């Protein structure tokens, strides 16, 4: 298609809601790349206002202060495209609904809002016949929403495994490479600005769970909300767990997992398991090499096979890159006609309960070192239908005083795939065995 002369279309009015780290970069790039963007869209993109809470607060010099306004509701009424980088549920939801009601296309980076109440926005956009784009809501700069929503629309996605939270990946990577404790690594992440003063949303897995819900909805054409995601953060991961992971050829990662299970429901229909938890990932898996605060999403699709998307999951300019890509898509539709994809929920798959998750486990135990103990433990697993893949009996564990505990053996048991419910019952039974002193840890193994 020949390029549309920029002059032939009036400028498109862009309103920006929020001027934090990401908003500042969106405003800077809209100005700095104005000519390129105009050529790509076929019309100039004119930033008509930036809504902020306090228009008198200090700002980056890249911000044209004359654009600042505290009246976001009025701003969205006079825009063709509204970009929301405020975050949180309100007032973001109200402002986006107003923007859609006023006929604007919307671009949002708001994972929490989409995971909690995305369908309200999708429906409003559909009813109004406007675009809603949200590439920046999952894994920052990494193109993953568009690939799953559009590029893989002709395939069947079976599984999505993602490292979608940079803060926790940084913390776990520091623990792996330096041996430091979780508390030390979180403190370091805070000092470097990777973790917030209150790191709850990251370390407890809420941020990753919101992204998992969005990815699962897109991958499986089924509504998945934050409440559907089984969530476990990284706070219980110890330096010892990380060291053991290395000894057994794994690294510990916080994974967002969404997978299709054929015939998993009571009625024999397919279901979807969506969860976030720390997991042992074999060092040979591509996700094991995602270091520092980087993100990656590994997708398994029936025809495409395995795909991996890698890059920066946070930060001003990287996230602004994803936002601007969406702005260009929405703007092109304004100039050339057409519309982006709508919500796709036709599959309506059941969301499986956490107890139905199927995975492999690594269980570490301290037991009395005498004949027959291993047999007793193996029998307890067998009684619950959990099959053992491998057992290691590494050296004698260290006693708390730094010496060697006499008569105590460490067992590291890796199971074959088992349902979470069977594993929970098994661990309880094993912990109750007379020669078992402690169940030191139970970690899931993914990506094998």
Binding site for ligand HSE (CB under 6 A): 165-167, 202, 207, 313-314
Closer Cβ to ligand HSE, 194 or 244, answer by number: 194
CA separation for the pair 78, 59 (Å, rounded): 24
- Rounded least distance, CB 271 to ligand HSE, Å: 27
Closer Cβ to ligand HSE, 19 or 104, answer by number: 19
With beta carbons less than 8 A apart as the criterion, state whether 331 and 81 touch. yes
- Rounded least distance, CB 438 to ligand HSE, Å: 33
* SS3 track for 150-208: HHCCCCCEEEEEEECCHHHHHHHHHHHHHCCCHHHHHHHHHHCCCCCCCCHHHHCCHHH
CA separation for the pair 42, 1 (Å, rounded): 12
With beta carbons less than 8 A apart as the criterion, state whether 139 and 164 touch. yes
Residue 258, CA distances (Å) to 41, 261, 392 in order = 35, 10, 30
Closer Cβ to ligand HSE, 21 or 388, answer by number: 21
Output the DSSP codes for 92-158. Answer: HHHHHHHHHHTT-EEEE--HHHHHHHHHHHHHHHHHHT--EE-GGGTTTTS--HHIIIIITTTS-EE
- Rounded least distance, CB 233 to ligand HSE, Å: 12
> In terms of C-beta density within 10 A (0-12 exposed, 13-18 middle, 19 or more buried), how is residue 321 classed?
buried
- Rounded least distance, CB 261 to ligand HSE, Å: 28
Closer Cβ to ligand HSE, 37 or 296, answer by number: 296
111 is catalytic: no
CA separation for the pair 370, 178 (Å, rounded): 35
Counting every residue, how long is the chain? 448
> In terms of C-beta density within 10 A (0-12 exposed, 13-18 middle, 19 or more buried), how is residue 61 classed?
exposed
Closer Cβ to ligand HSE, 48 or 141, answer by number: 141
- Rounded least distance, CB 192 to ligand HSE, Å: 12
Closer Cβ to ligand HSE, 165 or 217, answer by number: 165
Cis peptide preceding 125, ω within 30 of 0: no
CB atoms < 10 A from the CB of 256, how many? 31
Closer Cβ to ligand HSE, 202 or 241, answer by number: 202
Q: What separation, in Å, do the N-terminal and C-terminal C-alpha atoms of the chain show?
A: 46
Active-site choice (123, 187, 211, 253): 211
- Rounded least distance, CB 112 to ligand HSE, Å: 9
- Rounded least distance, CB 25 to ligand HSE, Å: 14
Active site residues: 211
């Amino acid at each position: 298609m020949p390029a549309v002369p920029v002059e032939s279309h009036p400028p498109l009015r862009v309103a920006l809601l929020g001027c934090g780290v990401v908003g500042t970069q969106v405003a800077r790039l809209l100005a700095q790349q104005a000519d390129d963007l105009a050529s790509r869209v076929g019309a100039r993109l004119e930033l008509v206002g930036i809504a902020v809470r306090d228009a008198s607060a200090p700002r980056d010099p890249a911000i044209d202060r004359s654009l600042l306004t505290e009246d976001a509701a009025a701003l969205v009424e006079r825009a063709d495209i509204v970009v929301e980088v405020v975050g949180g549920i309100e007032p973001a939801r109200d402002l986006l609904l107003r923007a859609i009601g006023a006929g604007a296309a919307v671009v949002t980076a708001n994972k929490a809002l989409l995971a909690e109440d995305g369908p309200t926005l999708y429906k409003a956009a559909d009813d109004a016949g406007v675009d809603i784009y949200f590439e920046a809501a999952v894994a920052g700069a990494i193109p993953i929403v568009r690939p799953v929503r559009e590029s893989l629309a002709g395939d069947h996605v079976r599984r999505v495994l993602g490292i979608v939270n940079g803060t926790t990946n940084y913390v776990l990577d520091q623990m792996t490479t330096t041996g430091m404790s979780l508390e030390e690594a979180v403190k370091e992440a805070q000092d470097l600005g990777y973790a917030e003063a209150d790191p709850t949303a990251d370390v407890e897995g809420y941020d990753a769970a919101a992204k998992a819900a969005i990815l699962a909805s897109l991958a499986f054409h089924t509504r998945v909300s934050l409440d559907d995601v089984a969530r476990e953060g990284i706070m219980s991961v110890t330096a010892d767990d990380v060291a053991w992971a290395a000894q057994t050829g794994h690294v510990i990662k916080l994974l967002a997992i969404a997978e299709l299970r054929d015939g998993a429901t009571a009625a024999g229909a397919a279901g979807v398991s969506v969860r976030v938890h720390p997991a042992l990932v074999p060092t040979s898996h591509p996700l094991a090499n995602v270091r520092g605060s980087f993100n990656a999403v590994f997708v398994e699709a029936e025809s495409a096979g395995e795909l991996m998307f890698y890059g920066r999951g946070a930060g001003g300019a990287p996230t602004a890159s994803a936002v601007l890509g969406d702005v260009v898509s929405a703007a092109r539709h304004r100039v050339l006609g057409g519309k982006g994809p709508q919500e796709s929920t036709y599959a309506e798959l059941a969301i499986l309960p956490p107890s139905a998750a199927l995975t492999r486990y690594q269980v570490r135990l301290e037991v009395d070192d005498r004949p027959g103990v291993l047999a007793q433990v193996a029998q307890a697993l067998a009684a619950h239908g959990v099959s053992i893949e491998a057992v290691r009996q590494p050296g004698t564990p260290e006693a708390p005083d730094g010496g060697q505990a006499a008569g105590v053996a460490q067992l590291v048991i890796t199971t074959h795939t088992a349902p979470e419910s069977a594993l929970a019952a098994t661990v309880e039974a094993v912990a109750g065995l007379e020669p078992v002193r402690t169940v030191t840890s139970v970690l899931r193994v993914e990506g094998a």
